[in-house]
Chains A and B, each alone.
Chain A
Amino acid sequence: GDSVTQMEGPVTLSEEAFLTINCTYTATGYPSLFWYVQYPGEGLQLLLKATKADDKGSNKGFEATYRKETTSFHLEKGSVQVSDSAVYFCALRKGGGSNYKLTFGKGTLLTVNP
């Protein structure tokens, strides 16, 4: 079945450090890929998405590129801030008749220290 694998956390960085959170997926066909973020005490929010191979999603300084050849969608940010501390979830959504069901990874807790 479909699955998403994220790097295990927690990840602890100092402010202005470079961030990478790895995400790989297993799915048939051509899924859409997402990064969701959950800030402390808040609900899941869509951070960015990509719907086809080589697409780059970006938002709030975060980027991720849909790499079909490596089935990956790694999240990156050049300079993290304390306010980026949150749990990050990678997810996929298949196309066709199942184009509504999100499959999530386990999440990666990021803590950014001043």
Chain B
Amino acid sequence: GAGVSQTPSNKVTEKGKYVELRCDPISGHTALYWYRQSLGQGPEFLIYFQGTGAADDSGLPNDRFFAVRPEGSVSTLKIQRTERGDSAVYLCASSRMRQETQYFGPGTRLLVL
């Protein structure tokens, strides 16, 4: 079956602009996660959704970052007033239930100029 997909695969934007990153999880997976991977680092947890609600957003770096999952499937990560330090690969993962194996998408590479 289809895996986790993310769009766009690459996004270049200017400092101060707003961006949206989309994640389509595996069908039927109730849990969805966002991670951020900076150059030379491992992925770092941002937020976890169980269904439509954000069960844990403790990894979001500040209030410029926000994520939604209105229908319990597709999720959008939104970044306001982007800064150069936001440049990274943003990874989405999903799992059937929260303690089960997480399947990762290919990521969106964000570059803020």
A106 touches B107 (CB 8 A): no
Choose the segment among B13-21, B66-74, B96-104 that binds chain A (4+ C-beta atoms closer than 8 Å).
B96-104
Q: Which residue of A lies closest to B98 (CB)?
A: A100
Out of B31, B44, B103, name the residue touching A104 (CB < 8 Å).
B44
20 further A-B contacts with Cβ under 8 Å, apart from A102-B33, A106-B42, A107-B42, are A4-B42, A36-B104, A42-B106, A43-B3, A43-B106, A43-B107, A46-B101, A93-B99, A100-B56, A100-B99, A101-B48, A101-B59, A102-B43, A103-B45, A104-B42, A104-B43, A104-B44, A105-B42, A106-B41, A107-B40
B residues apposed to A, CB below 8 Å = 3-4, 31, 33, 35, 40-45, 48, 55-56, 59, 91, 93, 95, 98-99, 101-107
A-B pairs with beta carbons under 8 Å apart, 29 shown? A43-B4, A43-B91, A43-B104, A43-B106, A43-B107, A44-B91, A45-B104, A46-B101, A46-B102, A91-B42, A98-B56, A99-B98, A99-B99, A100-B31, A100-B48, A100-B55, A100-B98, A100-B99, A101-B33, A101-B45, A102-B43, A102-B45, A103-B45, A104-B43, A105-B42, A106-B40, A107-B40, A107-B41, A107-B42
